[in-house]
């Protein structure tokens, strides 16, 4: 499971870098880095951290919305 997540994250990073390279630095709207992610079940109030205690990742948006 963890290996699949790392592979998906690496593929996302490559795709994002291709979009940023194609769009040019002037068209970048923002880049966000994930520092935490938690979920809580509505009924039982049990908390979960689906990406672990220290998630790693980022996303970049351009003026084209990608």
CA dist 13 and 16 (Å) reads: 5
Q: Report the pLDDT value the prediction gives residue 25, as an integer from 0 to 100.
A: 55
Q: In this structure, what DSSP letter does residue 64 have?
A: T
State residue 28's pLDDT score: 77
Arithmetic mean of pLDDT, 42-63: 88
**pLDDT (0 to 100) of residue 39:** 92
* Alpha carbon distance 1, 10 (integer Å): 14
pLDDT of residue 21: 57
Angle at CA of residue 16, ends 66 and 53, nearest 5°: 105
**Residue 48 and residue 38 in contact, taking contact as beta carbons nearer than 8 Å:** yes
- Strand pairing of 28-33 and 47-48? unpaired
- Using a cut of 0.75, tell me whether the model's pTM lies above it: no
d(CA 22, CA 64): 11
């Amino acid at each position: 499971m963890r290996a699949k997540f790392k592979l998906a994250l690496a593929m996302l990073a490559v795709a994002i870098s291709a979009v940023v390279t194609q769009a040019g630095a002037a068209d970048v709207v923002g880049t966000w880095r994930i520092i935490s992610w938690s979920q809580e079940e509505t009924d039982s109030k049990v908390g979960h951290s689906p990406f672990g205690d220290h998630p790693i990742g980022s996303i970049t948006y351009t003026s084209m919305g990608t």
